[in-house]
Structures are given as C-alpha cells and as structure tokens.
Amino acid sequence: MKILILTASTGGGHKSAAAALLDTIKKTSTDTVVEIEDGLKYCGKLYNKLICEGYVVLATKTPRLYGKLYNISDKESTINSICNNINYKEGKKLISLFNEKKPDVVISCHAFVTTMLAMLKRKNKISVPIISLITDFAPHRTYFASGIDAYVTSNENMLEEIENYNLISADKIHALGIPIADKFYKPQNKKQIAKKLEFDINKPTVLLMSGSFGVSEVLDFYESLMLTDVDCQCIVITGHNKKLYNEFSKYLSNPNVSQKPTRLFEFISNVEEYMHFADLVVTKPGGLTVTESLACSLPMAIYNAIPGQENENAQYLISQNVAISLNDAKTGGKQIAELIKDKDKLNEMRENCKKIRKENSALNIFRLAQNLVEQSQINSKFGEQV
C-alpha cells in the first residue's frame, strides 16, 4: 500500500502531525510506502506564498481581522465560494502529483488542501480514498465537503458541530485524535531530568513556551511570575525566536531583578522530557502543542489565543478543566502562582488530561487508511464484475 500525506506550511502543526504519521506507519508496516508532500507548495510559489505568508501576517499583525474572516468562512458565504473556485483552479496542479506518486490513499492535513482534493474527486479527476485530518479541537466549515471519505477529529465533542454543517454524514467522522510522536506518551525518569537541570525534584516546576510564530508575551508572564511569592523553578523554551532568547538571557543575567531557578533553551528535540517533568505549562493553544501537553498529563495556562482556531481550542480545554486562561501580563503571574500552589486543582487537571487524550492516534489513523483501501478495492472489483 502507498500512502501520500499532504501538508502545508501554515504553522508547524501540520508538518508535525504528518511526521508522526510517517514514523508510526514505518514502524508498523514494512510493506507500506509513505511519502509527505507540501500540497500548497506543489500548487506554485505564488499561491503558496499568498496563503502561508498571508496567514502569518493576519494571525500575528491583525488577529481581529483574521478572527472575523475565520468566522465568516465558517458559514456558507460568498468568501467560501470564491475560495473554493480558487482552490479548484490551483488544486488541478495536484493531478500531476497523483499521476507521479500513484497513491492508494491520501491523508490531508490542511483545510485548503482538503477542499482541493474534494473538488478534484467530485470532478472525477482523482478516485483514491481521502482522509481529512483536523489538527485543532473545534471544526471549521472549510474542512468539510462531499468527496472526502473520512474525517479524523481530536475529540468526540466536535461531532454535533460538524453535523450542523449538513455537509457530511456522521459515519465519516472518526474521533481518533491528532497524531503526535510516541515519546510524549512514555513516562520519563524525573530524577534524571532533575539532576540534568540541577533542579529540586520536590519543587513545583513551570514550563514556559513561545508559540510557533515566536511571540514575546511569554517573557512578560515570566517577569510577572518572578514578582510573586510562590516557591517554584522554571524551564523556558523560546524555540527558533533568537530575539526572545537574547531578551531572556539579558534578563536572567541581571542581578538586580527578582529571579527563581531557571533553565533557558532555544529549539530542542527533547521537549517531552520537560513536559513530563513540569507541573504546568504556559503556552499558546496550538493544536499540536495542546495534544502533546495532554499526552504528558500536563495542565496548561493559556495565553494570547489568536481569534479563530486557537481561541476555540482554548474554549474546549477550559471546558474540560485541563487549562486556565491567563488574562494579561500584570495578573498572569499571580494566576500561575495560585494554580501552582493548589495541588488538588493541578491533580484534578492532570487526571482530566488522561481522560480526554487519544493514545495510539497515528496507529489508528493508519488502520483507518487500510480499511478504506480494502473497501475501495472491493468496490472496484464489484464494479468490474457488474
């Protein structure tokens, strides 16, 4: 069997999910060939740049406008019709990719790519089974269209909202979760991590992470936390944001400011170790980061949710009592301190993380792909006999 996974460069989540699928499938089946392609990039430089860079600009520079466009496009509208026509025109460029790769099944990790594939299938340009993977915790209309064989969601709560679109049948929805690397589900040796960090294993630990776009608010929350009386230690991960890393370095080297034991990192490949070690993570509510936190049974303090999917992710997490929302930099440190002190509340949130997380997501998606291919082959043989 040959699986083609299509991603996009609008944030790192789509690619991380694709990579987790690739890794799991390779470990599970030596007979399966898996390839990952950037669907939007394949459609051409201009279109890819418009969508990917446009998303970054809107989400970071004009988040309110982005939120309005997100909400408008979540309904049947002229904007949707225009986008669908553009996507179909650009999506026709994917036909050559299908002719080249000849996949038995396709997994789409981006809404626009899913729209393209659905229209190509309705026009009989492609015929293979298609799975749409939704990498957030709330649905959006752009993901759903006739022609897609199965939808994978992060949770069961999305089912009712999806049914309200009246675009697909409920039997096509599978709440299998967002695929992440297996290492996030594996317990870590906390004593070894504490020794490596030179931390006190018995002292509460706060993990602070910047978003995929390198937002700087995390420094404000850290400074606010330093002004509280809570006895804790901190791990800060700035990712690829060199400017933020330098600002933290400058702050930590200043002997005149209040500080707690802190370890500062840029981009690292062992973030799961620190997620398992921490008692609370301060983070933006991106779909993949949230999924990783749930896998590590790590309660969340959410900040700066972008209007749209991040805001809806935050609402879901708060409703499930696995996260709190930080108001602003002035009061955020106090909120974090109060939660760290409330051990019963943290334990309750940890248990709730375990209840809603979806283990073996990548493996179950692979099984779904196998079933769709088998059914497609049966239908094809039946059609030939008729």
Domain ranges of the chain: 2-178+359-385, 183-356
Q: How far apart are CA 39 and CA 91, in angstroms?
A: 9
In terms of CATH architecture, what is 183-356? 3-Layer(aba) Sandwich (3.40)
E strand or H helix at 132, and its extent? strand 130-133
Q: How far apart are CA 48 and CA 41, in angstroms?
A: 5
SS3 content of the chain, % helix, strand, coil (to 5): 55, 15, 35
Confidence of residue 380 (pLDDT cuts 50, 70, 90): confident
Q: State pLDDT tens for residues 102-139.
A: 999 999 999 889 989 999 999 999 999 999 999 999 99
Confidence of residue 385 (pLDDT cuts 50, 70, 90): very low
Amino acid at position 286, single letter: G
Amino acid at position 324, single letter: I
Locate 235 and state its tokens: 């791990």
Q: In this model, does residue 374 exceed pLDDT 50?
A: yes
Q: State pLDDT tens for residues 257-272.
A: 888 999 999 989 999 9
Locate 309 and state its tokens: 């999917």
Residues 6+ apart with CB under 8 A from 218: 208, 209, 210, 236, 238, 244, 282, 303
Percent of the chain with pLDDT over 90: 65
Confidence of residue 236 (pLDDT cuts 50, 70, 90): very high
Locate 142 and state its tokens: 């752009």
Residues in the chain: 386
Cα–Cα nearest to 371, from 124, 324, 163, 363: 363
Q: How many angstroms from the chain centroid is the CA of residue 110?
A: 11
Q: In this model, does residue 228 exceed pLDDT 50?
A: yes
Cα–Cα nearest to 290, from 173, 133, 184: 184
Q: Are strands 300-302 and 323-325 parallel, antiparallel or unpaired?
A: parallel
Asked if residues 37 and 6 have their Cβ atoms less than 8 Å apart, the reply is: yes
Confidence of residue 145 (pLDDT cuts 50, 70, 90): confident
Asked if residues 288 and 17 have their Cβ atoms less than 8 Å apart, the reply is: yes
For the segment 68-85, the average pLDDT, to the nearest whole number, is 79
Q: How many Å is the Cα radius of gyration of the chain?
A: 22
Amino acid at position 104, single letter: D
E strand or H helix at 3, and its extent? strand 2-7
The larger pLDDT score, comparing residue 217 to residue 353, is at 353
Amino acid at position 130, single letter: I
The mean pLDDT value of the chain amounts to 90
The larger pLDDT score, comparing residue 382 to residue 354, is at 354
Question: If one looks up domain 2-178+359-385 in CATH, what number appears?
Answer: 3.40.50.2300
Residue 386 has a pLDDT of: 40
In the DSSP assignment, the letter for residue 173 is E
For the segment 200-211, the average pLDDT, to the nearest whole number, is 92
Cα–Cα nearest to 111, from 284, 292, 309: 309
Asked if residues 107 and 36 have their Cβ atoms less than 8 Å apart, the reply is: no
3-state secondary structure of 228: coil
Residue 9 has a pLDDT of: 81
Distances, alpha carbon 160 to alpha carbons 168, 290, 369, in Å: 12, 22, 24
Cα–Cα nearest to 145, from 88, 71, 67, 68: 88
Residue 213 has a pLDDT of: 57
Q: How far apart are CA 314 and CA 305, in angstroms?
A: 7
Q: State pLDDT tens for residues 9-43.
A: 877 788 899 999 999 999 999 999 999 999 888 88
